[in-house]
Amino acid sequence: MTPDRSDTEPVPVLRETAFGTAKLMPDLDCEGGWLLTLDGTPQSYVDLADPTHLEFEYTHRLGHLADVLTPEGAPLDVLHLGGGALTLPRYLAATRPGSRQQVAEADGPLVDLVTEVLPWHGQGIEVSIGDAREVLAAAAPASLDLVVADVFQGSRTPAHLTSVEFVRLAAAALRPGGVYAANLADSAPLDFARAQAATVRAVFPQTCLVAEPSVLRGRRFGNLLLVGSDQDLPAEALARRLAGDPFPARLVDGPELRRLVGSAEAVTDAEAAPSPVPPKGAFSIG
């Protein structure tokens, strides 16, 4: 008897969540690979067989950043704002055993779905349901090595996570030398990215921005990574790793970053706005 397809291959799972329709789709070309989308927008890719496999380019960059922060394999204390399918937490659990990681995700039904289909069995990862800013504000002072802000409601970063007041909360939660990293998205004329860079620079004396050259030149909509710290960043080591990626990214800091920011000013709570609406089809699939 030929087994049913359901007995031999994983199948897509669809679920209504707090912020839209989530879909978990198995990657038929990669055993153990799963893609999470929300209302058609890709949110996460997880490889259960190999958690060090980072499919999305922006997760490559976050992985590179984590890799160069401290000696290889050393555990980190990390707060992830935005959970998705826990791609980066799984990566750090594999590459830095013993790390203590807290994940804040506002979408409770999404967490239930990921727990059900893509369980992670502890690994030092604790997931809480709550607003990212509220969780960050409750973090113990000077208790973290890394704060990662990767929060998208659909395809936009919420306004209350874009202000200088929010970034100051991250600074307060970090140990000396700790690093804040925010994944954002923008396109020409990069007004949002410039303002966000000014916002991070207003809090952290050491700041850099990472993006593909085509995004920096405003030729297409895409992800940008903003990184800040109170101490020198491992910019050279990070830049070398970025240059070796399949889609190389540039690291912009120092005078070049000041020129990019130009006259943009730090964003306050009073004037904060969500990230721009992506062009139709920028991230959506199928």
Two tokens, residue 96: 């830095």
Domain that holds residue 148: 57-271
The number of residues making up the chain comes to: 286
The half-sphere exposure of 209 on its side-chain side, counting CA atoms within 13 A, is 30
Give pLDDT tens digits for 188-220: 999 999 999 999 999 999 999 999 999 999 899
String of DSSP letters for 140-172: PTT-EEEEEE---BTTB--GGGSSHHHHHHHHH
Residues in the chain predicted with pLDDT less than 70, given as ranges, are 1-8, 281-286
Q: With beta carbons less than 8 A apart as the criterion, state whether 219 and 190 touch.
A: no
Q: Looking at residue 125, which CATH number applies to its domain?
A: 3.40.50.150
In a domain, 18, yes or no: no
What's the domain count of the chain? 1
In a domain, 15, yes or no: no
Look at residues 125, 59, 133 and name the one whose alpha carbon lies nearest to residue 97: 125
In a domain, 31, yes or no: no
Give pLDDT tens digits for 227-277: 999 999 999 999 999 999 999 999 999 999 999 999 999 999 999 999 999
Question: Does the global pTM surpass 0.75?
Answer: yes
